[in-house]
Amino acid sequence: MLSIRRDLVDAIVEHARKDHPDEACGVIAGPEGSDRPERFVPMLNAARSPTFYEFDSMDLLRLYREMDDNDEEPVVIYHSHTATEAYPSRTDIAYANEPGAHYVLVSTRDDDTHEFRSFRIVDGVVTEEEVQVTDGE
Amino acid sequence: MAVEVRIPTILRQYTGGAKTVEGTGDTLAALIDDLESRHPGLRERLVENGSLRRFVNVYVNDEDVRFLGAEKTPLNDGDNVTVLPAVAGGS
C-alpha cells in the first residue's frame, strides 16, 4: 500500500496537468527505509514527448547525489500518461529499475477527472496497490 | 590504477550489497571487464554487443560518458565512476 499526503498527490496531479500533452515525471523522496514520501521533486522530461519520458542524465545524477547526502531514497517515482490509462506500459515495465519504489501513474486523458494509481514493478511483474491519501503534514 | 565505482541499488546483487567497489582499467570498457572478474553478471547489465546500454547512465567524475567517449572513455587513477539506470518509460 502507498500512504501519501494529499498535498503531494495534488502536486503530482498539478505537474501532470501543467505538462499535458507531454508526459510529466518526477520523484517523491523520503528517508531511507521509511516508505514515507516527503520531498516533492518534479523533474524535466528530457524527451518532451506525449508518449515517452526520461529524466535528463545530469539532473538524474544531481538527484541521486542529493538523496544520498540526505539519506533519502526515491519512495515514489511518478509519471503521467496523457492519452491512455494510468497503468504501466511495456516500456515502463522494461525500464523500471527501482524495485523498492512505488510507481505512481496519473492519467490526464480526461480534462475533468484524473486517474491516480500506484504499482510495484519488480523483475517485470506489475502489482497494483491501494493508495491511502492522508491529511496534514 | 584504482577507480572507485558507485553501484546503484538494483545492481548491488552483483557486488554482495556493496554501494561502492574498486576496479582498474585505462578505459571504461577495461574497468567493466575488471569488475566482471570479481562481480560476475555486472557486465551484462551495463554492456550490450560491446556498447554501453542505452538506458544505463555512466558518469566519470560527474560527466556523462556519452559526451566523453562512451565505453572508450579513458580513466585515470583516482577517477570516480557512477552508474545510474535511467529513469524512463512511456505510454
Report whether B91 contacts A84 (CB < 8 A). yes
* CA-to-CA separations, A5 to A42, A58, A81, A134, B82, in angstroms, rounded: 16, 29, 22, 5, 33
- All residues of chain B having their beta carbon less than 8 Å from the beta carbon of residue A81 are 91
C-alpha cell at A20: 499535458
ipTM of the complex: 0.93
Residue B58 domain flag? yes
Whether B18 contacts chain A with CB within 8 A: no
The CATH code of the domain that includes B51 is 3.10.20.30
Size of interface A-B (CB pairs under 8 A): 78
Report whether B8 contacts A97 (CB < 8 A). yes
Side-chain-side CA neighbours of residue B39 (13 Å):
25
DSSP B16: T
What pLDDT is recorded for position B59?
A: 98
Encode pLDDT of A39-68 as tens digits: 999 999 999 999 999 999 999 999 999 999
Q: Is residue A137 scored above 80 in pLDDT?
A: no
**Mutation target among A95, A103, A120, A123 for the B interface, most CBs of B within 10 A:** A95
What pLDDT is recorded for position A50?
A: 97
From the list A43, A12, A24, A125, the residue with the least C-alpha distance to B90 is A24
Residue B91 domain flag? no
Q: How far is it, in rounded angstroms, from Cα A94 to Cα A54? A: 13
Task: State the residue range of the domain holding B57.
Answer: 3-85
Number of compact structural domains in chain B:
1
**Continuous segment of H or E residues that includes residue B28:** helix B28-38
Cross-chain residue pair A52–B89, CB shorter than 8 Å: yes
- Is the peptide bond preceding residue B74 cis, with omega within 30 degrees of 0? no
Whether B86 contacts chain A with CB within 8 A: yes
Please state whether beta strands A72-81 and A102-107 pair in parallel, antiparallel, or not at all (unpaired): parallel
Residue B24 domain flag? yes
Encode pLDDT of B33-71 as tens digits: 999 999 999 999 999 999 999 999 999 999 999 999 999
Whether A23 contacts chain B with CB within 8 A: yes
Whether B70 contacts chain A with CB within 8 A: no
- All residues of chain B having their beta carbon less than 8 Å from the beta carbon of residue A98 are 9-10, 87
Q: Is residue B21 scored above 80 in pLDDT?
A: yes
Whether B81 contacts chain A with CB within 8 A: no
Cross-chain residue pair B88–A89, CB shorter than 8 Å: no
Q: Is residue B1 scored above 80 in pLDDT?
A: no
Q: How many CB atoms lie within 10 A of CB A122?
A: 13
C-alpha cell at A65: 547525489
Average pLDDT over residues A121-129: 96
Whether B48 contacts chain A with CB within 8 A: no
**Taking CA B88 as the corner, what is the angle to CA B86 and CA B33, rounded to the nearest 5 degrees?**
25
What pLDDT is recorded for position B91?
A: 84
Encode pLDDT of A83-122 as tens digits: 999 999 999 999 999 999 999 999 999 998 999 999 999 9
Task: For each of the domains in chain A, give its residue range(s) and CATH number, in order of start.
Answer: 2-134 (3.40.140.10)
Average pLDDT over residues A66-72: 96
Torsion angles phi and psi, residue B61, rounded to 5: 45, 50
